[in-house]
Every structure is written in C-alpha cells, then in structure tokens.
Amino acid sequence: MTKTLHYRNCQVQVCADLPHLSTAAAQQCVRQISAAIEARGVCHLALAGGSTPKALYALLAEPAYAQQIAWDRLHVYFGDERYVPHDTPESNYNMARAVLLDKVALPVANIHPIPTAAGDARHDAQTYAVLLERNLPVHNHVPVFDLVLLGMGEDGHTASLFPDTPVLNATEQSVAAVYVEKLASWRISLTLPVLNAAQCVMFIVSGSSKASMLRRVFTDTSAQQVPIQRVRPAHACYWYLDAAAAAELTP
Ligand code: 6PG
C-alpha cells in the first residue's frame, strides 16, 4: 500500500517497506529513462551510492525491468564517490557494478565512474566535470542530467554534500572534491547547481534511523538548512520513503 504526500513541488510516496519502495522507484526510473530517450534520444542518469539503492538497482537488472530499458541509449554516472580505488568495497562504482552494471546490456562506453586514481581528489573532480560538460546538455553553464538518484544520511547529507563543508558553496563548479572531517576521508560529489538543474530528482530514503531527520527536512523552515533541504529541483522531484523512515511525518 502506497500513501502519497506532497512536499514543496515534490511527490512523496510512502511505501510499506524497502522492497515496496524499491519496486515503486524502479517503475519510476523506467518511466523517467524512457521519457528522456523518447524526448532527447539519450538518458543521462546519475546513481546514488550507499546501501539503500542496492535493492532498486538489483530490480532494474531483472528481466522484467531490464527489458523495458534501451540500455544503448542510457549513460550512467555517479552523484558522488568515495575517494578509494574502484575495486574496493567502499566504492559506489564497485557496488553499482556488482548489483546492476555488470548484469545488463549497458555498453562499457556508457558507464562513467568518477575517477579516483590521480592521487588528488581535486584533479579527479575536475576531470569528471570536464566529462559532464562534454557529454551532457548544458544550461547556464550547468550540465543537466535527465535523472539523478539521491539518498539521505541521518545528518541530512545527500551525495557527498555533508553539513558544514565548503562543497555546499561550490556554486561555480559542477563537481567538487571535499575532505569530510567526520569520515576522515575525501569524497567527490556533484554540486548543488547540478542537482537542482536535473530534469528529475528521485530521493530514496529507508529505515527508522532516518525518521527524525526526515521530519526536520519536511517541517523545518528555519534558515539553518541541512544539505538535502538545499536540493530544490527546478523540474520533477520524487521522494520514495518506507513507512519506517516516514514514521514521524504527518500528512
Ligand atoms: C554515499 C552516498 C550517500 C548516501 C547516504 C545514505 O556515497 O554514501 O552517496 O549520500 O546516499 O549516506 O546512505 P544509505 O542509503 O546507505 O543510508
């Protein structure tokens, strides 16, 4: 059973649990990918990292969904990446390969991991920015994705836009490197202008540990905004929540 709410210009779907959330999100992904290919001949998709989207990605690799996607017209990118080798468990690219990319008929040339091998995160971030500006349509100097998938951390971060980090103000860059003190590690992330320019943004949030932050995100109108509140997509926006994550929300 899915309950639909609204938040800002976004449609919020509250599903019973993670499997139902993943099914609803997979159906929306197929719709958005197909619409982009229909309209522009190609779909540029940025994947979220973390663990929540794994079930969604596994569904997209299943024939019931995979057969609906024109993989040769789809280009896959990443919303952010941990600054680690691509063959390590922490890598978002490594995760996506295992559950999706290595299981579908996506041409290798259509897969665009964030580079992490230069030994300098800022250099790799700039390399990725150049790739985006070359591959994607650009509007007002900002590359425009057709679909961006995003998760949310308990602190209100999304992609690798963590609270109180300089990357939140990197409005002149489409991709930025950031050293995250609390993780003691470097990250590379799409910046807010890119997330906000996307044709469609889908947030995917699951679990009771996210409930109190979600309540804050949906109700707190104070100036002290957490990073995910600063993602205000100019176009289509969807939230896919499970009941546990939405437990503190009121219609
Ligand atoms: C990452 C993600 C990050 C993630 C959130 C939520 O690299 O980890 O991009 O932004 O989406 O931390 O992660 P979970 O879905 O695993 O809770």
pTM tops 0.85, yes or no:
yes
Low-confidence stretches of the chain (pLDDT < 70) are: 1
**pLDDT at site 146:** 98
pLDDT value of position 224: 83
CB distance 48 to ligand 1 below 6 Å: yes
Q: Please report the pLDDT score of residue 84 as a whole number.
A: 98
Reported as a single tens digit per residue, the pLDDT across 110-141 is 999 999 999 999 999 999 999 999 999 999 99
Residue 28 beta carbon below 6 angstroms from any ligand 1 atom: no
What is residue 93's predicted lDDT score, i.e. its pLDDT? 98
pLDDT at position 41, please? 98
Is the CB–ligand 1 distance for residue 94 below 6 Å? Answer: no
How far is the centre of ligand 1, averaged over its atoms, from the C-alpha of 150 (Å)? 8
Q: Please state the three-class secondary structure of the chain as a single string.
A: CCEEEEECCEEEEEECCHHHHHHHHHHHHHHHHHHHHHHHCCEEEEECCCCCCHHHHHHHHCHHHHCCCCHHHEEEEECEEECCCCCCCCCHHHHHHHHCHHHCCCCHHHECCCCCCCCCHHHHHHHHHHHHHHHCCEECCEECCCEEEECCCCCCCECCECCCCHHHHCCCCCEEEEEEHHHCEEEEEECHHHHHHCCEEEEEECCHHHHHHHHHHHHCCCCCCCHHHHCCCCCEEEEEEECCCCCCCCC
Residue 222 is predicted with a pLDDT of 84
Residue 1 pLDDT? 63
Ligand 1 atom with least separation from CA of 204: 15
